[in-house]
Amino acid sequence: MSSTLSIRINPKTKRAAQKTLRSLGLDLSAGVKMFLEQVATTDSIPFYTATGTGHKLRRASIYRKEIAETLKGGKSYATAQEMHVDILKDK
């Protein structure tokens, strides 16, 4: 027995996905079914997920927090040489 799935998606993304899937001989429904089968089979998202800067999504919130803390009260340097001197003085 099958069930129906309804999702909201950006029309541009939908058209681009349909175009790609068509070129592979699939329709959107088949592509979504394949994705969901892989999620169920592998118990994971079947592709590498990353932010726009290339960081893994599960780490992105940690990075954002560290960046915010650094911007709030961390050291800043005018040049890389200035930073290098500061790092070496602690040794």
> Per the domain annotation, does 26 fall within a domain?
yes
Model pLDDT for residues 24-66, shown as the tens digit of each residue: 999 999 999 999 999 999 998 888 766 677 767 667 777 778 8
Looking at residue 44, what is its pLDDT? 86
| Cα–Cα distance, 9 to 16 (Å, whole number) | 11
User: Which contacts (CB < 8 Å, 24+ apart) does range 29-37 have?
Assistant: 32/5
> Per the domain annotation, does 18 fall within a domain?
yes
Looking at residue 35, what is its pLDDT? 94
Report pTM. Answer: 0.54
Looking at residue 91, what is its pLDDT? 63
What CATH number is given to the structural domain containing 25?
1.10.1220.10
| pLDDT band (50, 70, 90) for residue 86 | confident
Provide the domain limits for residue 86.
58-91
